Amino acid sequence: LSPAPRKRAGGGRNRELTRTTFRMLVGLGTSVAANAAPLVITELAYPPHRVALTSLFNCMWYTGSIAAAWTTFGCFRIDNSWAWRLPSLIQGVPSAAQVSLLFFSPESPRWLYSRGRKDQALQTLAYYHGDGDEYVIVTFFIALESIR
């Protein structure tokens, strides 16, 4: 005699739709983070620290990918819908932290300048690169305007 087959939690189609939707939601910011974050780090990091911080971002990206893969592998044998929910939730925590910290980060000086907000771009650059001294940055802007 063989035991009766176990029913899995959740319906088939609805479960797949939920899983796919949640994975799309978790991965929504991947392309934005992969393209925009290194540029903002490069623009705002103090020049002697720029290379280290950009390299650290690139290394941590792959470290996170390896941790996510092992988390998914570790949940592979869970016999219900938590097999995909748990890795998705764990991988969503750093994303939620990143989104919440986004409100505290300054806007890109390049973006500010392209939108005509030159004074705010100057203040941002002076704060992060000129030790609060706008003279060095004003010289840079004058050189930039002469190129245009």
The rounded Cα 2 to chain-centroid distance in angstroms is: 50
What pLDDT, in 10s, does the model give residues 99-140? Answer: 888 889 888 888 888 898 988 888 888 888 777 777 777 776
What pLDDT, in 10s, does the model give residues 22-69? Answer: 778 767 767 777 778 888 888 888 888 889 998 998 888 888 889 889
pLDDT over threshold 60, residue 3: no
pLDDT over threshold 60, residue 94: yes
End-to-end, the C-alpha distance of the chain in Å comes to 84
Distance of CA 28 to CAs 22, 101, 146, Å?
10, 17, 40
pLDDT of res. 53? 92
Binning pLDDT at 50, 70 and 90, where does residue 6 land?
Answer: low
Q: Which residue has the higher pLDDT, 57 or 142?
A: 57
- Quickly list DSSP for 100-124: HHHTTSPPPHHHHHHTT-HHHHHHH
CB 64 within 8 A of CB 51: no
Tokens of 41: 């780090």
CB 141 within 8 A of CB 118: yes
Tokens of 32: 């934005």
pLDDT of res. 131? 74
Q: Tell the residue number behind the tokens 């030159």, with chain if given.
A: 118
Binning pLDDT at 50, 70 and 90, where does residue 19 land?
Answer: confident
